[in-house]
Chains A and B, each alone.
Chain A
Amino acid sequence: MAERVVDCIGLYCPVPIAQAAEAIREVAPGETITILADDPGVENDFPNWCKVTGHELVAMEKTGEGFRITIRRKRAP
C-alpha cells in the first residue's frame, strides 16, 4: 500500500499540524503517515500533538530540507 505522505515544506504553523490531523483520519488505525516539514517549530509541535491526540510518534529525522516525521494512528481502544 502506498504510504500517505503529507508535504508541508514551506508551510508554517499551524498548517502542518492541521494537515496531519486531516491525513491521519484517512488511514486505518495502526497505519502510519509521513509528514515532510521545514518549519523549525514542528520539532516540538509534533511530539506534543502526539501526546495530546494519542497517536504514536514513530520517527523524527532531520533531513536536508527539514524534518521527516512518521506517525502511527492510534488503535481504537
Chain B
Amino acid sequence: MAEEKRKRMVLVLCAGELDRALACMNIAVGGASMGMEVTVFCTFFGLNAIRKDGIARAPRPEEEPKRLGLFGAGAIRRVFAWLNPGGGRYMNPSRFSFGGLGRRLMAYLMRDSRMAQLDELIKLAASLGVKFIACTTSLEALGIPRGNLRPEVKEFAGVATFLAEAIGSDVQLFI
C-alpha cells in the first residue's frame, strides 16, 4: 500500500441531527477501514456530534466582551448553551423527535439491534486514524468552548483548511 497514493476523503458535517451524524461517522469509519485518509470537518450544529455529552459551560458575563446592544450577546449565548446540549445522547433524529423522546427510542432500537452508537463510532473512527477538525468560527458564534469538545478532536481551523483538504481529495461529501 505504501507505493500507491492513499485515497482521501473529506466529510463536512453541518447538521445536528443524529441520523446525519451517524451516517457521517459510518462513512468515515468505512473509508478509514478501506485504507483512505479521512477528515471530518464539523461546523455549525454538526459540532454537536463531536461535543461531550451535556450542556456546555457558557462564558460568564465578565469573560464575555460586550460588543452588541445593551447586554451584549452573552445572555443569549447562555440561554443558547442551555438549549443546545451536545453529544450523541442529546442529538435528536431528523424525524420522530417527540421533544427528546425520539432519541431515547432510537438509542433503544440501536442497542437492541446492536448497532454502534455515535460515541462508539467516533472512538472507532479516531482509532482508525480519522482526523476531526472543528470549525473555529462556529465554535465562537455558538459559544462552545474548546474544552467541551471530545478528546478525539485535535484540530481547529476554518474554511481554508477545509478547502486545502478537499481540493486534493478523491471524495468530498457535505452532510
Contact = CB atoms under 8 A, between A and B. Distances in A.
Interface of A: 10-15, 17-18, 20-22, 49, 52-54, 74, 77
12 contacts: A11-B114, A12-B114, A13-B30, A14-B116, A14-B121, A15-B29, A18-B30, A18-B124, A18-B128, A21-B33, A21-B128, A52-B34
Q: Looking at B7, B29, B33, which has the most chain A CB atoms within 10 Å of its CB?
A: B33
Contacts, number: 47
Given A10-B114, A15-B124, A21-B128, A49 B3 contact: no
Contact of A14 (B3, B7, B33, B113): B33
A77 B7 CA distance: 18
> Across chains A and B, which 7 residue pairs bring their CB atoms closest together, nearest first?
A21-B33, A14-B30, A17-B33, A14-B29, A18-B33, A52-B34, A10-B114
Nearest to A13: B26
Contacts of A10: 114
A18 B25 CA distance: 12
Contact of B34 (A15, A22, A49): A49
A57 to B, nearest CB: 14
**What range describes how many residues of B lie at the interface?**
10 to 19
B128 A52 contact: no
Contacts of B116: 11-12, 14-15
Nearest to B3: A77
A52 to B, nearest CB: 5
Interface of B: 1, 3, 7, 26-27, 29-30, 32-35, 113-116, 121, 124, 128
A52 B36 CA distance: 10
A20 B32 CA distance: 12
Contact of B32 (A12, A13, A18, A54): A18
Nearest to B36: A52
Nearest to B116: A15
A49 B29 CA distance: 12
B114 A14 contact: no
A54 B1 CA distance: 8
Contacts of A14: 26-27, 29-30, 33, 116, 121
A21 B29 CA distance: 10
Contacts of B33: 14, 17-18, 20-21, 49
